[in-house]
Amino acid sequence: MTPPAINMNSTASATTTGDKPKSSAFRIGLGDITVNNLGQIKRLNTVLFPVVYNSSFYKEILEVGEFAKIIYFNDVCVGGVCCRKEPIAGDKSSQNLYIATLGVLAPYRRLGLGSRLLTHILENAELTSSSEPKIGKVYLHVQKTNEEALEFYKKHGFQIAETLENYYPQFDDKDAYRLEKVLN
């Protein structure tokens, strides 16, 4: 069983701050996760999230293609996103996409990297491939108290679908929201 996923987030909020570097001063790029750089995403998740993911989690993310990515800032790997596709019982024509982790290292926040990762996921979720069931909705869990993350996801069109009490029994703030975005 994979441990409950968590979006501690980590990423940019809507607030603009005056101390952003000039955009010309940096380069941003997305990269694939491969068996060779898996260590990078492991290191990121260890630093960013209190949940420890097991090896099957990392095995799975090698299989999801565009739905697991790392992001480079000035050629340095500073964040990543890991999703999994979840089939819907009794529905062969569609499936859900679950964002298990999405995060950016602290010094690199508020530079739009989180948005870039999330946009990438959403864009790819909307591309339908003929061989696969189409993705009906994208969802994730977030701690109820994590206002920054909530705001971030709402900005990207996510809505609270459900409140889950004691979802994170190991943490102080145990309650979580399930956020989702239904795709057209």
Mark the segment that binds another protein (CB under 8 A) among 58-66, 74-82, 83-91, 146-154. Answer: 74-82
Residue with tokens 């061989």: 131
Pick one of 30, 64, 77, 161: the residue that binds another protein (CB under 8 A): 77
Report d(CA 18, CA 45) in Å as an integer: 29
**Catalytic residue at 58?**
no
DSSP state letters, 43-63: HHHHHH-SSPP-HHHHHHHTT
Catalytic residue among 53, 108, 139, 141: 141
Pick one of 5, 12, 33, 44: the residue that binds another protein (CB under 8 A): 44
Distances (CA, A) of 27 to 69, 72, 73, 162: 16, 8, 6, 38
Q: Which residues of 152-164 are buried (b: 16+ CB within 10 A; e: fewer)?
A: bbeebebeeeeee
| Shortest separation between residue 79's beta carbon and another protein, angstroms | 9
| Shortest separation between residue 31's beta carbon and another protein, angstroms | 11
Q: Per CB under 8 A, does 74 bind another protein?
A: yes
**DSSP-assigned beta bridge partners for residue 181:** 138
**Residues 91-150 interacting with another protein (rule: CB under 8 A):** 105, 107-108, 111
Report d(CA 22, CA 110) in Å as an integer: 13
Question: Which residues are catalytic, by number?
Answer: 98, 141
Interacting residue ranges for another protein, rule: CB under 8 A? 19-22, 25-26, 34-40, 43-44, 46-47, 50, 52, 73-78, 105, 107-108, 111, 171-172
